[in-house]
A and B are shown apart, each in its own frame.
Chain A
Amino acid sequence: MVAFDYTEKVMEHFRNPRNMGVMENPDGVGEVGNPACGDVMTVQIKVKDNRISDIKFQTFGCIAAIATSSMITELAKGKTLDEAMKITRNDVAGELGGLPPIKMHCSNLAADALHAAIEDYLKKKGGIR
């Protein structure tokens, strides 16, 4: 195993992940990653008045994967769908005080999971109309 220099913020989110778990009847679900690569993230959202009113994540992966998932839920909660779609991988890493370069590619998938959840919501909503 290679030891990484994680920021205190990363470790804090790893120790105390925010909004971790599964919700009943989510409005949108996004899942990204691949267990073979060692990272899978699920993001579930509830949407009210075009805003993310509740958000939950589950992650299989390393510390960076867990911390970025936790961070994305904090960043997205309460945001409008448009605002949430604009959150990037770099925003997540930046908010955590940076990630080891080796972790930027594979473990920093949280923004993708969020976007997938929003797209899932929009698709379902479109379907109802």
Chain B
Amino acid sequence: MKAYLDNSATTRVDPAVLEEMLPYFTEKYGNASSLHSFGREAREAVEKARERVARLIGAKPEEIIFTSGGTESDNLALRGAAHSRRDRHRILTSNIEHPAVLETFRDLERNGFTAVYAKVDREGLLDASAVAGMIAPDIAIASIMLANNEIGTIQPVKEIAEECRRKDVMFHTDAVQAAGKIPVDVRKLDVDLLSLASHKFHGPKGVGALFVREGVGIKPLMTGGGHERGLRSGTENVPGIVGMGKAAEIARERLEEDAARMRRLRDMLIDGLLSMEETYLNGSREKRLPNNANLRFHGIEGESLVFLLDENGIAASTGSACSSKKLQASHVLLALGLAEWQAHGSLRLTLSRFTTKEEVEFALRGIPQAVETLRRMSPVWRKIKKGEM
């Protein structure tokens, strides 16, 4: 038996999605820009997919730009917006964004912008009014993720976006983890730009989309044949786009049912694991994606835990990464105010539409065993038990 609990990394392609993609590799292989029947067939498929993706987020089809994925969508949004408003010098984001946003901000800083970072509280949430207070007319672009990729916390994007609207500041949200898990409506959220990635909701990898509100002008990253309204030159990835379209359609139709199911299983997982000693939930329990559990087991280190779980058939991920000098705890976990040794013992478990109760039960047997094994090995655990840490 195996349990795949790393669906925030990527998800399984829905069989219905794959089926719809396949003809676009073989019989229907035309270039969507060609004038002949092969091209027209591909164009129709791309436009149908555009409608489906638009419907998932309450947008108009012409507001959807297909990209290669979430990272490109974030880059296009942030660089495209910042460089179209060179008269403004500041850019604003949060301290728990995905690297696709944070690293783009760092690069924009090297290009002369001054970045401002809004900080989350211990629950991993931004204070909407505090962030609203930071919005000023000299900001070229503000970007706040809708839901966090590590701890699943859902940010008050609507309130912040509304303040941006009042101050005429362009606003972007990274909705890569949110789409297909919670309702996402670009009109209700009142955002100008919104990023999506197909493979996070059972579509194929290598395709994503950026919503660009009608009337919002941004600069393209790539020059070329002027595809996608000139914002993303390059021959369309037709099978990928078709797959993303189908995945978006299924995600929209099944949203309520999927979310309720994932939430039930997720709660089972969280409650089951919280019964272990010195075990804590990272991030708000209430304002949280229905498919995210991120737990912290004091006294152990994440990399060994992930490998030990993998040996026992459980796929999960951790919030630490090794740099050349030391093991670095995740910037998101540190932003919650955790000590580094606490952050190191964190484990992210993320569910999908295809996660079964059996998988969750399997994980609920395997994880405590693995944690116990590593704690027996750990001098830090010994100190915790003696009350020395």
Contacts and interface: CB of A to CB of B under 8 A. Distances in A.
A78 interface: no
A128 interface: no
A62 B301 contact: yes
B304 A66 contact: yes
Interface stretch (B114-122, B288-296, B316-324): B316-324
B302 A40 contact: no
Interface in A52-67: 58-63, 65-66
Interface of B: 299-304, 306-308, 311, 317-327, 329, 339-341, 344, 376-382, 389
B317 A38 contact: no
Nearest to A59: B377
Contact of B379 (A31, A36, A63, A106): A31
B327 A20 contact: no
Contact of B322 (A35, A41, A102): A102
A14 B382 contact: no
Given A36-B340, A36-B341, A38-B329, 19 more contacts: A1-B302, A1-B321, A20-B376, A31-B379, A36-B339, A37-B326, A38-B301, A40-B379, A58-B378, A58-B382, A60-B300, A60-B377, A62-B327, A63-B307, A65-B304, A66-B304, A103-B322, A105-B324, A105-B326
Interface of A: 1-2, 4, 14-15, 17, 20-22, 31, 35-42, 58-63, 65-66, 102-103, 105-107
Given A60-B301, A62-B301, A106-B326, A41 B379 contact: yes
Contacts of A59: 377-379
Contact of A40 (B311, B322, B323, B380): B380
A38 B329 CA distance: 8
B247 to A, nearest CB: 26
A14 B304 contact: yes
B318 A1 contact: yes
- Identify whether the interface residues of A are mostly helix, strand, loop, or mixed: mixed
Contacts of A36: 339-341
B382 A38 contact: no
A37 B301 CA distance: 10
Nearest to B345: A60
B327 A60 contact: no
A91 B366 CA distance: 35
B289 to A, nearest CB: 20
B311 A15 contact: yes
Contacts of B306: 1
B340 to A, nearest CB: 4
Contact of B325 (A1, A15, A65, A105): A105
Contacts of B324: 102, 105
A65 B382 CA distance: 17
A75 to B, nearest CB: 19
B327 A37 contact: yes
Among B319, B322, B378, B389: residue with most chain A CB under 10 A: B322
B331 to A, nearest CB: 14
Nearest to A101: B324
A24 B156 CA distance: 55
A38 B326 contact: yes
B278 to A, nearest CB: 13
Nearest to A4: B322
B325 A35 contact: no
Contacts of A41: 379
B343 to A, nearest CB: 9
Question: Which are the 10 A-B pairs with shortest beta-carbon distances?
Answer: A38-B327, A35-B341, A36-B340, A60-B380, A62-B303, A60-B378, A42-B379, A58-B379, A37-B326, A38-B344
Contact of A61 (B304, B329, B381): B304
A39 B327 contact: yes
Contacts of A4: 322
A47 B340 CA distance: 36
Contacts of A60: 299-301, 377-381
6 contacts: A1-B320, A17-B377, A39-B301, A59-B377, A63-B307, A102-B322
A106 B321 contact: no
Nearest to A70: B377
A42 B378 CA distance: 9
Among B304, B308, B324: residue with most chain A CB under 10 A: B304
A114 to B, nearest CB: 15
A39 B340 CA distance: 11
Nearest to A67: B304
A45 to B, nearest CB: 15
A106 B323 CA distance: 10
